[in-house]
Chains A and B, each alone.
Chain A
Amino acid sequence: DVKVTQSSRYLVKRTGEKVFLECVQDMDHENMFWYRQDPGLGLRLIYFSYDVKMKEKGDIPEGYSVSREKKERFSLILESASTNQTSMYLCASSLSQDSWYSPLHFGNGTRLTVT
């Protein structure tokens, strides 16, 4: 089974702090994604990556950046956390662009609270 591991289950940060959310997958997947999940809004894509050192903006990239230095690891960075970034953050991976129909495999999520 694919395992997608997010480093923290819960995080509490202060406004203005720089926040790192880490995600690691163990199945050699090429594609990795960061979503945020908010009540009534479903999941919204922040950033995604099809390969090492490659990134593309999703639907709501403002206030976020990402880093993918190794294939198995995809980091989400909040440069200066704000209270409207309080949310559940979900990391996901999928096989490759060649296997375009393969489903996403999700991590357990990081619930971030910014005070």
Chain B
Amino acid sequence: ELKVEQNPLFLSMQEGKNYTIYCNYSTTSDRLYWYRQDPGKSLESLFVLLSNGAVKQEGRLMASLDTKARLSTLHITAAVHDLSATYFCAVAFFGNEKLTFGTGTRLTIIP
């Protein structure tokens, strides 16, 4: 069974701190995506990771992919309130065009 697991499910952190969201998946994948969803809004694409060791950065967010460990991380540096949102990872498995989403990590940044 194809599974994508994120942890933590909920994360409350103070402004200025660093933290990491983890995304584990159950079988070989050829691409992984990170999305952001603000309350009441749609999902916005953040990163696409296509190969082992891929690293992408945008502002205070950095995503990486380790295909051997079947793990992606989304690292938040010096968090600011504007980063409060729910973050989803999504994985496409070899031989399957469909994306399987994780359950999401709801991130709250406290001033």
Q: List A residues at the B interface (Cβ < 8 Å).
A: 4, 35, 40-45, 48, 50, 58-59, 90, 92, 97, 100-109
Contacts and interface: CB of A to CB of B under 8 A. Distances in A.
B50 A101 contact: yes
A42 B104 CA distance: 6
A44 B101 CA distance: 7
Instruction: Describe A's contact surface by its main secondary structure.
Output: loop
Interface of B: 4, 9, 31, 33, 35, 41-45, 48, 50, 88, 90, 97-104
Nearest to A38: B103
A87 B59 CA distance: 33
Instruction: Describe B's contact surface by its main secondary structure.
Output: strand
A105 B45 contact: yes
19 contacts: A4-B42, A40-B9, A40-B103, A42-B102, A42-B104, A43-B90, A43-B101, A44-B101, A48-B97, A50-B97, A58-B98, A59-B98, A101-B50, A102-B48, A103-B35, A104-B33, A104-B99, A107-B42, A108-B42
